[in-house]
């Protein structure tokens, strides 16, 4: 049996996070010692390692809960996890596209802003380009 501090050190998660996972139902309530301190078992450590790994891959708590609930009911969660991974891959691809678009827009604004004077009123400087958003960023040319 492990204390919360020992479990925290073992799995690399703060005790506060472990308590949070208990509150939201990702980790079952632990056994309690006579002094009411939490006591954890090996399966709690394994479960937390899975949660930590899934969070590192940007899975939501709801997605993690779905996988753990299936496993807790004796149902292999592999197919569901594979579907979640496929959706995650698509979401990452979409984020990459959006970040590339954002980088292009910032690059254009930066290039235009280098030749503009500083202006406290923000009417003739790079600041007004930000106010205009993307329509003000490329001189009317399409991206």
Render pLDDT for 75-134 as a digit per residue (tens, 0 to 9). 999 999 999 999 999 999 999 999 999 999 999 988 888 887 776 666 667 777 777 665
CB-based contacts of 61, cutoff 8 Å, min separation 6: 24, 26, 55
Q: Hey, which residues does 53 pair with through a beta bridge?
A: none
pLDDT for residue 134? 53
**11 — pLDDT class (breaks 50, 70, 90):** very high
Q: What angle do CA 60, 39, 28 make, to 5 degrees?
A: 35
Q: Could you tell me which residue, 86 or 31, shows the higher pLDDT?
A: 86
Are 18 and 28 in contact by the 8 Å Cβ rule? The answer is no
User: Coil, helix or strand for 97?
Assistant: helix
Neighbours of 54 (CB within 10 A): 19
Percent of the chain with pLDDT over 90: 68
Q: What is the rounded CA–CA span in Å between residue 29 and residue 69? A: 15
Q: What is the rounded CA–CA span in Å between residue 92 and residue 98? A: 10
Tell me the whole-structure pTM to 2 decimals: 0.74
Fold classified for 4-60: Multidrug-efflux Transporter Regulator; Chain: A; Domain 2 (1.10.1660)
Q: What are the residue ranges of CATH 1.10.1660.10 in the chain?
A: 4-60
Burial (CB count <10 Å: 0-12, 13-18, 19+), residue 44: buried
């Amino acid at each position: 049996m492990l204390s919360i501090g020992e479990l925290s050190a073992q799995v690399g998660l703060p005790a506060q996070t472990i308590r949070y996972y208990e509150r939201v139902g990702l980790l079952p309530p632990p056994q309690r010692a006579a002094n009411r301190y939490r006591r954890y078992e090996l399966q709690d450590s394994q479960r937390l390692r899975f949660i930590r790994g899934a969070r590192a891959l940007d899975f939501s708590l709801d997605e993690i809960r779905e996988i753990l609930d299936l496993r807790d009911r004796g149902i292999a969660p592999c197919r569901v996890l594979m579907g979640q991974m496929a959706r995650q891959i698509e979401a990452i691809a979409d984020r990459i596209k959006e970040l590339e678009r954002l980088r292009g827009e910032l690059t254009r604004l930066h290039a235009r802003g280098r030749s503009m004077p500083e202006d406290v009123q923000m009417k003739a400087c790079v600041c007004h380009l930000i106010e205009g958003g993307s329509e003000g960023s490329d001189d009317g040319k399409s991206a």
